[in-house]
A = this chain, B = another copy of it.
Amino acid sequence: MDNAADRLIARIRSVGNAVVVGIDPRPSQFPAEIRGRFPETRAGVAESMRAFSEAILDVVAGLVPAVKFQSAFFEEFGPEGVAALHQAAAGARRRGLFVIIDGKRNDIGSTAEAYARGYLGRPPVSEGEGPSWDADALTINPYLGGDGIAPFASVASERGKGLFVLVRTSNPSAGDFQDLVADGKPIYRHVADRLVEWAGPLRGESGYSALGAVVGATYPEQLAELRAAMPGILFLIPGYGAQGGRATDIAAGCDAQGLGAVVNCSRGIIFAFERPDLRARFGDDWRAAVSFAVREMVDDLAANTPMGRLQA
């Protein structure tokens, strides 16, 4: 069973960038072409989310190594929405993309195991049945402590899958609890330090572990601090673009080879066609606007971070 960090890094090297396209399907922002095709029922909206996701995947496959699906937007529409996520995730895998499900799941013991088997492993069903979700990686929340992480790490290790644990998030009030200082260091550093321990057994040949961290782009000093404190930990960096994170802020998240981090952008890419400049340039060809926004982000990161070395 190969290692998820190695697999992600191989894809990064293959396409020459570390961009993650975040698929956060907000139906009200879908192009008219897609919105108009489906009724405004729960099932209809779910179908439109699947169709929009597949259209995005067609554009970004080959351009980026990975996509991240935000589970909330699918769950909002009930079981029909969840079925659409399932189909879209399968579509991403078929297109060769590394698939992250952003579910921020958390629980303990056998309940955490159920999440882990569901999203990363295989449930106890008959031989002929495949896995349930078969994501390459899942985001998880550390508030429950070590026995909320171990069951996920165990399944990830067995199945060659990955995890990204929330450490320092990109939202304005992330500091409410994450920045409180105990024993001389903030809570997020306590989480980071424990994560380094837990990540050791999942280290791959690349030197990076399949147990990674979510670290926001909006607090560059903390990103630099955590990069130094967490060698061998892959960062999933949200907050680029819409949330205000700039490439120069992200530079500190990379190692000298331009590895060590993947950078997520959601709205800024999948709804790029709303930008007046891209609307003027591409008209109704919304896919061209999305593709342009991906290339623009790749170029921005290459010019302003060590990620430029990935293109050599």
A85, chain B: closest CB distance, angstroms: 8
Contact A76 B114 (CB under 8 A): yes
- Interface residue A284 (Cβ < 8 Å from any Cβ of B): no
Q: A67-107: which have CB < 8 Å to B?
A: 70, 72-73, 75-79, 81-83, 85-86, 104-107
Contact A75 B171 (CB under 8 A): no
Contact B143 A41 (CB under 8 A): no
Q: A112-135: which have CB < 8 Å to B?
A: 112, 114-115, 117-119, 123-126, 128-129, 132-133
Contact B177 A145 (CB under 8 A): yes
Contact A187 B176 (CB under 8 A): no
Contact B177 A187 (CB under 8 A): yes
Q: A29-44: which have CB < 8 Å to B?
A: 39-42, 44
Contact A41 B171 (CB under 8 A): no
Residues of A in contact with B (beta carbons under 8 Å apart): 24, 26-28, 39-42, 44-45, 70, 72-73, 75-79, 81-83, 85-86, 104-112, 114-115, 117-119, 123-126, 128-129, 132-133, 141-148, 166, 169, 171-178, 180-183, 187, 190-191, 194
